[in-house]
Structure formats: structure tokens, C-alpha cells
């Protein structure tokens, strides 16, 4: 457990965002995860991303399932409502909450056990409904809280801490999401904040379901030699195929000279995601090609990272359901209840 | 009931008091023909019920429709069949065996009837329905469909149903489809004319117009419950299709398509999500309820089993939700198209750990409407899941009900929800603090104010909403929740109580058993047996329920399950001693009949059985 008490004093020249808030205002309570846990780095990136996006913390809903990763929503945005739900059931809570109020920003934090085993069905259907949310899958290939069992994302040949070797093929959330029709698929590494922060921002700006699969090593149970989800292995085999830069709405686009052939995609809210393919000819708007490339890299033992796929305009849950623009929670009762006259009229045909 | 006790206009014919059973094959279009017959009797002003006994199948299996007309208003199911329309040769044998002596069989005489099926005490009326339809209609599908309409015509002739009423129904149904209207008219006349010519006046029963239904409508409990959801202001519904709850959400969608469109944009003022399973359906409801929407899910036993884990969370994290449990015969898949009341334990204590839930038990479709509205108020007021527990018979069959009324001054009870202004006046907001001493804490909604933020969790928490594994702090919260739920007892709809002089025995029942038990009560009273009546409408039980039970030497609990679940619940949750409770149980999947109740009660009271029917 990381045991550093946070000082409550604020440095007078500490950086503020447009709302006058500091990074500290986007933090939560002290993490109780193991020191060095990848999840804590992701939490820090989430804090950074929300801070830089100037989002009022209370306009965010943060949700999770059960597991180490699902503990983390208490560690960021203490002024946002949080919902630590059941094992594997975060997508359903997020879907219902979003149906009731689509005006908030939604971040769901889950893990590989939560999303790929007990909650696989819910995960797939949240993709299918294109629920407008950032789905953060903190992927470490192992069950931490129950002390080291393989998860469904464990690679063939990877070994457990006590030497046991996994023989079964992994479920890869990124390629699965691609086949399910996900409108935003990205992968990153908890140790690469430079890559992670822009991806979180792009995912939050995306109108629809944005999967961010982040390899996040478990220092206690899966950071040994033989693990394919360790810091060392991910650093060595991580392969960024697309560099991504996020330009929020209303920010001046300051083109950097070294961008080369950057492609810009305008998001639903007007912000811009710019990306530059590292791998030649990689096109993250071509689903089939993205899948093929991902699989080719996987076959070579490499972990493709970056913005793997984006479809900037797609129908989300509210478009499918044709709901009013106003959040349903804000619709006054008078507009919902048809009244006695209608009831009488309706019943006149029930004879 | 007893055949000889019925009023007769002359030596043979009983008026407005009969049971007619239609035996058909499902998927042949007979449902709409049968519904038309029932509707016609309703429009003639005669109290009537229609019970659909159908298979879990799309096409080709036996299905029955039981119509009971009764001038006294007794419209519970009755097994005493006067007339059977035997349209399914595969079930001839059992159908013909069921008819009471002196009754009649109407069958399709296009093919001869096996002589072994004939009974001397029953009248056989053969109409060559298939032949007539082959001669008059083209194409296999139309011939099959019109055969149903032709038997409707024949029944009109035999029972003296006003053809004008049938014409009116057809006109409403097919006003925009002239060719269908024409075919239906032809088919009606085919059956009608044949029956008039050959069998006029032969049936032992017939109809006469009454005026009992002036202030009534026909509705199913699922439609009424859906309407209740609309009127209560529910905006989010999530569900997984399951018989017999499916038509509740279908009805909600249908009603919303008419009543819940934004007049300016044409967009929906509601959101219905067909989920991937019941685990997700209840999760979506809780997500929406947490966000501040009125949200609900309709389900049945199997779905309820899947929802258990979330129901415990909703109880413990105190999230409002409304669950409609339209019960069917269990356990497991059981008999999905048959009715039962087998979920009392499941709903009362759903989920692991210490839980107890608020339940409402509507006795008919009319109460489904009012209890649905009540359920949303209770769920938000007590911040807990509330179950509206009906059954297949209430949910899916058409019942004659007094018209629904709506009070336009109704204001939803949103419970203790703090606004941004409320929060500004507070030093600090703590989610689970019992500030008012009633066990009900205040809640906040996401997105309203940073001061209202808290972390909803199913894990151990203290009164401030913080994670805890401290025994005292944990107990403090769960004890308060227990107090809160007990406090709901007196806020639930009052039980229905009927007292007579000097009764020492009470008949106690719940839900859809009401109609049959009241009919039985009347019959037993006629025999001179003094009985009081209690119908429980909510759980936790109010003091009135306990007082009723304690004030009788014996309480006979009538319910539709094998294990006497409701009786056991009364034993667990009131001070009544076991010696004061007995059961009459019925659990074969059909709606309860007064016969079963009369027989059972007489038996419990040690009275000599009498021949019934």
C-alpha cells in the first residue's frame, strides 16, 4: 500500500485550469493498492486528463465493478459521484445511468477479470449499444485480490508467479471490441503517460463507447520473468503503431513542425484528435485493416499500442433510443404524466 | 357452482351463468377469435372472464381458452365446463371428458367423430367448419383463420350473442382493411346460419343482455402496470424478454409511443432497453435510479433469480428501483405459461446476507395500475427496491375491471433528495446519516453539486458513506436499514378486510386468488359457515394483518404454491402461533377456482365434503 499522506496546503503558483481548479482538485483519496501498481499510474493519467480537459469534477460519473482496478475510482475526482458496483456489472450500471442522464461524462474502470470473464456479456453489449463512455480496462492478466490466478487475458505460455504455465488462448479486449463494432479502440501501457493522457482525453471526447485497454502490471502477482504483462515485457514488446495528440475544442491548433503526415479527426464535440501512423500505411479508421495489423503484431509477440481504431461519427445509445436531448432526469413530471383526460380516452377503447 | 343451484328461466336453459371452453391449436389465429367472443359478452353487459391456457410454443400445440360468464360477477376460473368448442382432434378425448353432464360439445364435423368419444350425457353438435371454409375461402392460411371466425358465428347463434355487437367489433378491428372485413363477415355468417338452421335453442345455456359493465373496461394486469409506469413518470425501463412479463414492457413501449413523444421534436421522453440478460436489466434500472430517474424492470421467477445479487446491493446501497414480478410456475424453467404464486420467499428476502424487501400484491389488473404508481413513490421514499408481485393470470388475461381514475393533483414522492441549494446550506453531506430518526437518510443525485458527491458501494460502509470493515460501524448501518424497512409497513396499501358476526375462522389470501376466494366465501356463507376475510396487499406486514390473524382461532391461508410460502411468511413475520394457521394450496398452474377453495376450507374445518359441480 502506498503510504504517502497528501499535504493539504496549496502552492500559490500551482497550475490552474480554466475552471480555476488544480490537479489536486481532480484527485481522490489515498490509494490502497500495492506500491508500484500500474493502476496508480493510470489513476494519475486520469487525473491529468480531466484536469487538462477543464471538466467540472461533479459533472463526471465514475463507475467500476469489483477487483483491484475497480477500487481506483475512489482515488480520483472526489467531487464526482462514484458507483462501485458488482463484479462484472459496471456496464449495466453505466448504461442505465447514461440512459437517465447523458449529459455527464462517464468513466467506467474495470479489469480483465471483471470485463473478460464474469462481465464479458455486459462488456460486449455496452460496446454494441455504443454507450457514451470511457471504458478503462486495466489489464494485468491476473486476479490480484484472490492472489494470483490467471485471468482470461493471460497469454499462451505466460507463467504464474509459482511457475504454472497458461495454455489457453487469451481473450484480447481490443481485437474483440473491433469485431463487435466498437467505435473507439485504443491500447496503452500504464508506464507510458505521454501516450496515455491524450488517449484518455480523446476517449472522453468521443461520442460513443471508447475502449481503452491499458496494460497495467501487477507488481505483486504478475511482474516476474515469464509474465507477458510485466513492466519489462511490456516495455520491450510494446509497439506503438499510432501516435496520438488530442486538441480540445477551442484550443488553438498549434501544429508542431515535426508531426509529419498527421491526420486530424474532428470529434463530436468539435475537439480534434490528430494521429500519425508509426507503422507505414496504418489507417486507424479502417476496421478490417486495424484488426489484421493487430493480429499480425500479436503473432509476433508484440503488443500494439496507440489509437487503434476510431469511427468519429456513430450512433450511440441515445441515438438508437431516439431520446430527447434534455436528460430524462430533468424532464418535468408534467411532461411525463398524460393526466386524467387521456386516461379516460384511452379506456374508452378498452371495451 | 353446484349446477342445481343455478337460476333457470325454464326447465332447461341457464341464462348468463356458464363456462365455455375453446380447445384449439396454437398459432392458428384462434386467440383473436376467442378474444372477440369474450369481448362480445362483455359488451352485452354480462360479467365475464377469459383465461388463456397456452403452451410454451409458437405453433402446433394444444391451447385452450376458458370463457366464464356470470351474472353475479363471479368471474374466477371455473372448471365446470358447460360447453366445449372442440377444435383440436388431438385433445378431443380429454376435452370431451371434462364436460359436465348435460353440457354440449361443438366440433368440426368435416371429419367423423370417433364413436368411442361419444357420451350419452352430453349433446354433440357437429358443424362442417373446415368444409365450409374450403368452399368459401382461398388459400390454406385464410381457410385456417376463417374457421375460427366461423365458430365464433356458430357460438353467437347458440348462445344468443347479438350479431350487431360482433359486427361492431369487426368494424373497429378491420375498418382500414376491407378485404379482411369481408372475409370475416362471410365466415361469421357461415357459422351463424348453420347453427341457427340445425341447432337453434339446443344449448343448455345462453346469454341475455345486462348492464353490469357500464363503468368497466377490459384490461390485463401487464397493460395496467405499464400504464401505471407511464403515469408515475417512469422514464427508464430495462428488461429481458420473459413470459409472462413480456407484455408489460411491450405495453409500456406501445403506450409511450403514443403518450411520451416530445411534441416539438418527436423524440422519446423515455428510454426502454432490451438488455442482454436479467443481470444487466436490474443493473440498468439501478444505474438509472441512482441517477434520479424512475426506472423499472418487469420479470418473472427465472429472471428474478438472476437479479438477486443486484437486489441485495440495491437494498444495502439504498437505491430505488421498481420490479414487477409476474409469477409463473417454478421451480427452474417450470411451466412458463402457467400461473403460480411461487416467488414469495424469493422476493421477500432476495439476495444473500440479511435483506428484506418491500412488496405489493395487486389482486387484479386495476390494482396493478395503482400499485405500480405507489411502488415508484415507495421506492424513492424508502430508497429501496419495491416489488409489485402479480402473476400470469393477472398479468396476461383480460379482466373486467372498474375504470381507472387519475387524480391530476398527484405529485410524485421523490423522497429525500437534496438540491444544490439544500447542499449549500449544509456543512457537509453524508449519505447514510439518519438525520430525521426515521431510518431514511437523504440522498443526492450525480451532476447536481460537488458537495453532494459520495461513493455508492455494496461493500461495507459507515453512516458517512465511507468504506469500513469495523463491526460497530457496519452494524450501525444495517440496523438502521432494518428500521427503515420496518417503517414502510404502515405506508403500504391497507389490507382488504371483511368481517362478519361471530366468525372465529378467517380466510386469508393474497394477489390473484382474490376473486376465487371471495366467490368461495359467498358459497360457504350461504351454507351458514361464518368466515372473515383478509387479503394482504403489502409486505412487511402491517399491524392490521397481525391483529386479524391473532383475533381468529384459525386462519386458513389460500395461495398458489406447494409449500405454503405465504403462510410461512406470516408465521415468520407476525406473532401468530403456528397452531392458528392452516393452508389451502393449489399449484397445478391454472388460475384458482372457487371449487378448490370451498373443498379445501370444508376439509380444514372438518366438514363433510359435498359434491361440487
CATH number at residue B133: 3.40.920.10
Q: Taking CB atoms and an 8 Å cutoff, what residues of chain B touch A145?
A: none
The pLDDT of residue B448 is above 80: yes
More confident call, A329 vs A9: A329
**A192: exposed, middle or buried (C-beta count within 10 Å: 0-12, 13-18, 19+)?**
buried
Closest in B213, B233, B283 to A96, CB measured: B283
pLDDT band (50, 70, 90) for residue A7? low
Quote the pLDDT of residue B27.
86
Cα A71–Cα A73–Cα A79 angle in degrees, nearest 5 = 140
Q: Which of A127, A149, A131 is nearest to A140 (CA)?
A: A149
Q: Are B339 and B223 in the same domain?
A: yes
- The residue among B184 and B5 whose pLDDT is bigger is B184
- Name, of A254-258, B6-10, B497-501, the range with top average pLDDT: B497-501
Evaluate if residue A246 carries a pLDDT over 90: no
Sequence length of chain B is 613
d(CA B357, CA B320): 11
- How far is Cα A45 from Cα A113, in angstroms, rounded to an integer? 22
Query: For residue B546, what is the domain's CATH number?
Result: 3.40.50.920
Cβ atoms of residues B219 and A350 within 8 Å = yes
A69-98: average pLDDT? 98
Q: Looking at chain B from residue 85 to 104, which residues have their Cβ under 8 Å from any Cβ of chain A?
A: none
Q: Which of A110-119, A145-154, B9-18, B364-373 has the lowest mean pLDDT?
A: B9-18
B347 lies in some domain: yes
Closest residue in chain B to residue A55, using alpha carbons only: B447
> Would you call B271 and A100 a contact, using CB atoms and an 8 Å cutoff?
yes
Give residue B201's pLDDT.
Answer: 82
User: What integer pLDDT is reported at residue B6 of this predicted model?
Assistant: 63
* Angle CA A209–A211–A216, to nearest 5: 155
Mean pLDDT on B20-24: 96
**With an 8 Å Cβ cutoff, are A58 and B292 in contact?**
no
* CATH code at position B261: 3.40.50.970
Residues of A in contact with B457 (CB under 8 A): 83-84
3-state SS string for B38-102: HHHHHHCCCCEEEEEECCCCCCCCEEEEEEEEECCCCCCECCCEEEEEECCHHHHHHHHHHEEEE
Share of chain A above pLDDT 70, in %: 93
In this predicted structure, the answer to whether residue B10 has a pLDDT above a threshold of 70 is: no
> Could you read off the pLDDT of B530-561 as tens digits, one per residue?
999 999 999 999 999 999 999 999 999 999 99
B177-216 residues touching A, CB cutoff 8 A: 213
Looking at residue B144, its pLDDT comes to 92
Query: Are B178 and B35 found together in one domain?
Result: yes
Domain count across chain B: 4
Within this chain, do residues B79 and B187 fall inside the same structural domain, yes or no? yes
Q: For B384-407, what is the mean pLDDT?
A: 98
Residue A141: which of A226, A66, A65, A72 has the closest Cα? A226
Residues B75 and B202 reside in one and the same domain: yes
pLDDT given for residue B29 in this prediction: 87
Q: Is the CB of B453 less than 8 angstroms away from the CB of A78? A: yes
Q: Please tell me the predicted confidence (pLDDT) of residue B4.
A: 46
Q: Are residues B294 and B383 in the same domain?
A: yes
Contact (CB<8Å) B293/A321: no
Task: Indicate if B339 and B386 belong to the same structural domain.
Answer: yes
Residue with cell 428488461: B239
Report phi then psi at B538, rounded to 5.
-155, 160
One domain, residues B103 and B124: yes
The set of residues, in sequence order, having a beta carbon less than 8 Å from that of B494 and lying 6+ positions away, is B537, B542, B544
Q: Which domain holds residue B429?
A: 420-490
| Continuous segment of H or E residues that includes residue A243 | strand A242-247
Q: Under an 8 A CB cutoff, do A103 and B283 touch?
A: no
The answer, for B407 touching chain A at a CB cutoff of 8 Å, is yes
Cβ of A73 within 8 Å of Cβ of B289? The answer is no
B289 touches chain A (CB under 8 A): yes
What's the rounded Cα separation, in Å, for the pair B500 and B502?
7
Asked if residue B411 is part of any domain, the answer here is no
Provide ipTM, 2 decimals.
Answer: 0.95
> Which residues of B fall within a CB distance of 8 Å from A342?
259
Cα A203 vs. chain centroid, distance in angstroms? 7
Q: Has residue B410 been placed in a domain?
A: no
Confidence of residue B109 (pLDDT cuts 50, 70, 90): very high
Whether B447 and B578 map to the same domain: the answer is no
Compute CA A140 distance to the chain's CA centroid, rounded to the nearest angstrom. Answer: 15
Q: Do the domain assignments include residue A11?
A: no
C-alpha cell at A193: 503517460
Whether residue B388 is contained in a domain is answered as yes
Q: How confident is the model over B145-150, as a mean pLDDT? A: 95
**Averaged pLDDT for residues A336-341:** 98
Contact indicator for B520, B600 with CB cutoff of 8 Å: no
Angle at A254 between CA A310 and CA A285, to 5 degrees: 15
Q: Are strands B216-219 and B399-402 parallel, antiparallel or unpaired?
A: antiparallel
What is the predicted pLDDT for the residue at A258?
A: 44
Q: How deeply is B112 buried, as exposed, middle or buried, from its count of CB atoms within 10 A (0-12, 13-18, 19+)? A: exposed
Helices and strands of chain B, counted as H and E runs:
19, 23
- pLDDT tens for each residue of B111-124: 999 999 999 999 99
| DSSP 8-state assignment for residue B451 | G
The residue of chain B nearest to residue A329, with distances taken between CA atoms, is B293
Supply the range of the domain harboring residue A142. Answer: 23-347
**Which of B452, B474, B490 finishes a domain?**
B490
Across the beta sheet with B321-327, the strand order is B271-274, B236-239, B295-299, B321-327, B385-391, B358-360, B538-539
Residue B213 inside a domain? The answer is no
- Provide the pLDDT for residue A252: 41
What are the DSSP calls for A292-329, one per residue? Answer: HHHHHHHHTT-EEEEEEEE-SS---HHHHHTB-SS-GG
Q: Which of A84, A95, A331 sits opposite B457 (nearest CB)?
A: A84
Residues of chain A neighbouring B450 (CB-CB closer than 8 A): 56-58, 79
Query: Hey, which residues 301-320 in chain B have their CB within 8 Å of chain A?
Result: 309-310, 313
Q: Do B448 and A322 touch (CB under 8 A)?
A: no
- Band (pLDDT 50/70/90 cuts) for residue A62 is very high
Q: For position A176, what pLDDT does the model report?
A: 97
Task: Spell out the SS3 assignment of B504-524.
Answer: CEEEEEEHHHHHHHHHHHHHH
* pLDDT over threshold 90, residue B446: yes
**Quick check: B290 contacting A, CB < 8 Å?**
yes
Question: Is the CB of residue B581 less than 8 Å from the CB of residue B607?
Answer: no
B286 touches chain A (CB under 8 A): yes
Nearest partner of A51 among A80, A21, A74, A79, judged by Cα: A21
Band of the pLDDT at A276, cuts 50, 70, 90? confident
Paired sense of beta strands B48-53 and B538-539, if any: unpaired
Q: What is the pLDDT of residue B466?
A: 95
Given this model, what pLDDT does residue A13 score?
84
Res. B1: pLDDT tops 50: no
Query: Which chain B residue has the Cα nearest residue A327?
Result: B269
Nearest Cα of chain A lies from the Cα of B86 at a distance, in angstroms, of 27
Alpha helix stretches (DSSP H) within B412-564: 420-424, 471-487, 514-526, 543-550
Nearest to A104 among B233, B446, B459 (CB): B446
**Each residue of A107-147: pLDDT tens digit?**
999 999 999 999 999 999 999 999 999 999 999 999 999 99
Among residues 21-60 of chain B, which lie with CB inside 8 Å of chain A?
A: 39, 42-43
Q: Is residue A105 part of a domain?
A: yes
Residues B556 and B465 in one domain: no
**Is the same domain home to B289 and B381?**
yes
- Is A347–B217 a contact, with Cβ atoms under 8 angstroms apart? yes
- pLDDT confidence of residue A278: 83
A15 located within any domain? no
Does position A250 have pLDDT exceeding 60, yes or no?
A: no
A96 chain-B contacts, CB cut-off 8 A: 236, 238, 273, 283-291, 295
* Helices (H), ranges, chain A: 38-52, 68-71, 90-100, 112-113, 120-129, 173-180, 193-205, 231-237, 287-299, 317-321, 333-336, 339-347
Query: What's the average model confidence in pLDDT over B256-272?
Result: 97
In a domain, A48, yes or no: yes
Kindly indicate the confidence band of residue A244, based on its pLDDT and cuts at 50, 70 and 90: confident
DSSP line for B571-613: HHHSS--GGGEEEEE--SSSPPBHHHHHHHHHHHTTPPP----
**B159-211 tens-digit pLDDT:** 999 999 999 999 999 989 999 999 999 999 999 999 999 998 889 999 999 99
Q: According to the model, what pLDDT value does residue A251 have? A: 46
Q: Tell me what pLDDT residue A44 has.
A: 98
Instruction: Work out the pLDDT band at B613, boundaries 50, 70, 90.
Output: very low
Is B173 part of any domain?
Answer: yes
B468 touches chain A (CB under 8 A): no
Question: A196 to chain B, minimum CA–CA distance in Å?
Answer: 26
Burial class (CB in 10 A: 0-12, 13-18, 19+), B575: exposed
Residue % of chain B over a pLDDT of 90: 93
Measured between alpha carbons, how far is residue B94 from residues A70, B34, B88 in Å? Answer: 60, 20, 11
Which of B460, B490, B520 is the C-terminal boundary of a domain? B490
**How does residue A280 score in pLDDT terms, banded at 50, 70 and 90?**
confident
Indicate if B98 and B237 belong to the same structural domain: no
B39–chain A nearest CA distance, Å: 7
* Mean pLDDT to the nearest integer, A238-262: 64
Touching check for B269 and chain A: CB below 8 Å? yes
Residue A139 lies in a domain: yes
Lowest average pLDDT, out of A75-79, B201-205, B319-323, B373-377, goes to B201-205
CA distance B491 to A252: 59
Q: Supply the pLDDT for residue A249.
A: 60
Domain assignment present for A18: no
Task: Identify the CATH number of the domain in which residue A343 sits.
Answer: 3.40.50.970
Mean pLDDT of the A175-186 span: 97
Q: If you write DSSP's letter for every residue of B7-43 in order, what string do you get?
A: -BSSSS-EESEEEEEEEEETTSSHHHHHHHHHHHHHH
pLDDT at A20 over 90: yes
Q: Residues B450, B303: one domain?
A: no
Q: Buried b / exposed e across B55-84, counting CB within 10 Å, b at 16+? A: beeeeeebbbbbbbbbbeebbbbbbbbbbb
A281 within domain boundaries: yes
Q: A313 pLDDT exceeds 90? A: no
Question: CB-hemisphere CA count at 13 Å for A15?
Answer: 7
Q: Which of B490, B507, B537 is the last residue of a domain?
A: B490
Tell me if B290 and A93 make a contact (CB, 8 A cut-off).
Answer: yes
Question: CB B445 to CB A329 under 8 A?
Answer: yes
Q: Say what the pLDDT of residue A6 is.
A: 62
Helix-then-strand count for chain A, H and E? 12, 13
Sign of CA dihedral B102, B103, B106, B107: negative
Q: Residue B221: pLDDT above 90?
A: yes
Q: Which of A237-246, B130-139, B588-597 has the lowest mean pLDDT?
A: A237-246
Contact call for A81 and B453, based on CB within 8 A: yes
Neighbours of B463 (CB within 10 A): 16
Residue B540: asked if its preceding bond is cis (omega within 30°), the reply is yes
Select the residue of A61, A86, A103 nearest B309 (Cβ to Cβ).
A86
CB count within 10 Å of CB A77 equals 29
Query: Are residues B540 and B356 in contact, defined by beta-carbon separation less than 8 angstroms?
Result: yes
Provide the domain count of chain A: 1
- Determine contact: B252 vs chain A, CB below 8 A: no
State residue B191's pLDDT score. Answer: 97
The grid cell for A120 is: 464479458
Amino acid at each position: 500500500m502506498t503510504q504517502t499522506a497528501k499535504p493539504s496546503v496549496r502552492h500559490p503558483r500551482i497550475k490552474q485550469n480554466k475552471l480555476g481548479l488544480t490537479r489536486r482538485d481532480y484527485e481522490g483519496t489515498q490509494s490502497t493498492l500495492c506500491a508500484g501498481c500500474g493502476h496508480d499510474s493510470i489513476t494519475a493519467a486520469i487525473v491529468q486528463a480531466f484536469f487538462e480537459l477543464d471538466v467540472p469534477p461533479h459533472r463526471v460519473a465514475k463507475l467500476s465493478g469489483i477487483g483491484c482496478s475497480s477500487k481506483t475510482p475512489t482515488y480520483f475526482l472526489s467531487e464526482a459521484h462514484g458507483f462501485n458496483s458488482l463484479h462484472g456489472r459496471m456496464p449495466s450500471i453505466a448504461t442505465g445511468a447514461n440512459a437517465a442522464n447523458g449529459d455527464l461524462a462517464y468513466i467506467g474502470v474495470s479489469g480483465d477479470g471483471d470485463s473478460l470473464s464474469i462481465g464479458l456479456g455486459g462488456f460486449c453489449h455496452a460496446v454494441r449499444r455504443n454507450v457514451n463512455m470511457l471504458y478503462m480496462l486495466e489489464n494485468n492478466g491476473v486476479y490480484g485480490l484472490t492472489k494470483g490466478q490467471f485471468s482470461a487475458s493471460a497469454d499462451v505460455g505466460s507463467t504464474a508467479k509459482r511457475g504454472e504455465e497458461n495454455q489457453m488462448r487469451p481473450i484480447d479486449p481490443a481485437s474483440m471490441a473491433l469485431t463487435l463494432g466498437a467505435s473507439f479502440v485504443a491500447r496503452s501501457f500504464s508506464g507510458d503517460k505521454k501516450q496515455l493522457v491524450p488517449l484518455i482525453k480523446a476517449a472522453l471526447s468521443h461520442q460513443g463507447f471508447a475502449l481503452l485497454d491499458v496494460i497495467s502490471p501487477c507488481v505483486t502477482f504478475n511482474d516476474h520473468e515469464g509474465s507477458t504483462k510485466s513492466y519489462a515485457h511490456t516495455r520491450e514488446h510494446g509497439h506503438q503503431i499510432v501516435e496520438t495528440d488530442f486538441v480540445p475544442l477551442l484550443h488553438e491548433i498549434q501544429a508542431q513542425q515535426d508531426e509529419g503526415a498527421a491526420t486530424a479527426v474532428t470529434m463530436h464535440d468539435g475537439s480534434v484528435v490528430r494521429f500519425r501512423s508509426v507503422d507505414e500505411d496504418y489507417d486507424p479508421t479502417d476496421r478490417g485493416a486495424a484488426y489484421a495489423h493487430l493480429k499480425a503484431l500479436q503473432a509476433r509477440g508484440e503488443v500494439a499500442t496507440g489509437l487503434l481504431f476510431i469511427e468519429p461519427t456513430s450512433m450511440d445509445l441515445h441515438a438508437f433510443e431516439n431520446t430527447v436531448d434534455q436528460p430524462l432526469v430533468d424532464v418535468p413530471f408534467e411532461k411525463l404524466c398524460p393526466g386524467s383526460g387521456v386516461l379516460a380516452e384511452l379506456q374508452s377503447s378498452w371495451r | 357452482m353446484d349446477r342445481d343451484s343455478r337460476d333457470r328461466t325454464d326447465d332447461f336453459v341457464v341464462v348468463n351463468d356458464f363456462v365455455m371452453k375453446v380447445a384449439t391449436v396454437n398459432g392458428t389465429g384462434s386467440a383473436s377469435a376467442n378474444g372477440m367472443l369474450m369481448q362480445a359478452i362483455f359488451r352485452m353487459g354480462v360479467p365475464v372472464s377469459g383465461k388463456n391456457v397456452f403452451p410454451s410454443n409458437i405453433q402446433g400445440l394444444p391451447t385452450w381458452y376458458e370463457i366464464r360468464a356470470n351474472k353475479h360477477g363471479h368471474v374466477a376460473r371455473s372448471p365446470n365446463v358447460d360447453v366445449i368448442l372442440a377444435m383440436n382432434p388431438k385433445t378431443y378425448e380429454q376435452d370431451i371428458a371434462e364436460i359436465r353432464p348435460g353440457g354440449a360439445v361443438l366440433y368440426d364435423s368435416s371429419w367423423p367423430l370417433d364413436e368411442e368419444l361419444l357420451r350419452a350425457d352430453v349433446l354433440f353438435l357437429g358443424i362442417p367448419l373446415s368444409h365450409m371454409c374450403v368452399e368459401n375461402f382461398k388459400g390454406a392460411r385464410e381457410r385456417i383463420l376463417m374457421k375460427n371466425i366461423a365458430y365464433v358465428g356458430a357460438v353467437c347463434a347458440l348462445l344468443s350473442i347479438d350479431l350487431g355487437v360482433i359486427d361492431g367489433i369487426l368494424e373497429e378491428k378491420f375498418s382500414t382493411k376491407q378485404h379482411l372485413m369481408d372475409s370475416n363477415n362471410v365466415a361469421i355468417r357461415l357459422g351463424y346460419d348453420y347453427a341457427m338452421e340445425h341447432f337453434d335453442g339446443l344449448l343448455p345455456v345462453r346469454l341475455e343482455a345486462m348492464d353490469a359493465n357500464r363503468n368497466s373496461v377490459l384490461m390485463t394486469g401487464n397493460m395496467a402496470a405499464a400504464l401505471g409506469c407511464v403515469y408515475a413518470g417512469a422514464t427508464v425501463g430495462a428488461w429481458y424478454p420473459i413470459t409472462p412479463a413480456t407484455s408489460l414492457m411491450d405495453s409500456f413501449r406501445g403506450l409511450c409511443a403514443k403518450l411520451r413523444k416530445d411534441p416539438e421534436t418527436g423524440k422519446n421522453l423515455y428510454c426502454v432497453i432490451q438488455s442482454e440478460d436479467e443481470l444487466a436489466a436490474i443493473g440498468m434500472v439501478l444505474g438509472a435510479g441512482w441517477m434520479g430517474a424512475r426506472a423499472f424492470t418487469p420479470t418473472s421467477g427465472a429472471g428474478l433469480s438472476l437479479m438477486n445479487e443486484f437486489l441485495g446491493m440495491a437494498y444495502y446501497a439504498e437505491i430505488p428501483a421498481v420490479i414487477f414480478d409476474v409469477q409463473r410456475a417454478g421451480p427452474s424453467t417450470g411451466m412458463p405459461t402457467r400461473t403460480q404464486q411461487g416467488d414469495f420467499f424469493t422476493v421477500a428476502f432476495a439476495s444473500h446476507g440479511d435483506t428484506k424487501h418491500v412488496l405489493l400484491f395487486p389482486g387484479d389488473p386495476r390494482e396493478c395500475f395503482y400499485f405500480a404508481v405507489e411502488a415508484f413513490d415507495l421506492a424513492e421514499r424508502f430508497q429501496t427496491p419495491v416489488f409489485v408481485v402479480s402473476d400470469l393470470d393477472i398479468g396476461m388475461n383480460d379482466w373486467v375491471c372498474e375504470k381507472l381514475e387519475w387524480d391530476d393533483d398527484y405529485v410524485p414522492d421523490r423522497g429525500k433528495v437534496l438540491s444544490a441549494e439544500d447542499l449549500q446550506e449544509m456543512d457537509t453531506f453524508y449519505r447514510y446519516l439518519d438525520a430525521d430518526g426515521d431510518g431514511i437518510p437523504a440522498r443526492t443525485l450525480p451532476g447536481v453539486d460537488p458537495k453532494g458527491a459520495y461513493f455508492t458501494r455494496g461493500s461495507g460502509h459507515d453512516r458517512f458513506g465511507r468504506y469500513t470493515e469495523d463491526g460497530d460501524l457496519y452494524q450501525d448501518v444495517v440496523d438502521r436499514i432494518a428500521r427503515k424497512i420496518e417503517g414502510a409497513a404502515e405506508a403500504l396499501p391497507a389490507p382488504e378486510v371483511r368481517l362478519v358476526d361471530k366468525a372465529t375462522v378467517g380466510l386469508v389470501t393474497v394477489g390473484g386468488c382474490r376473486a376465487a376466494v371471495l366467490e368461495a366465501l359467498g358459497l360457504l356463507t350461504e351454507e351458514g359457515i361464518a368466515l372473515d376475510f383478509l387479503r394482504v396487499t403489502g409486505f412487511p406486514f402491517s399491524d392490521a394483518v397481525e391483529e386479524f390473524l391473532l383475533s381468529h382461532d384459525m386462519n386458513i391461508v389460500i395461495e398458489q404454491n406447494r409449500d405454503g410460502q405465504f403462510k410461512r411468511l406470516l408465521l415468520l413475520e407476525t406473532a401468530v402461533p403456528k397452531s392458528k394457521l392452516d393452508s389451502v394450496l393449489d399449484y397445478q398452474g391454472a388460475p384458482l377456482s372457487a371449487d378448490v377453495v370451498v373443498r379445501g376450507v370444508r376439509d380444514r374445518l372438518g366438514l363433510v365434503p359435498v359434491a361440487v359441480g
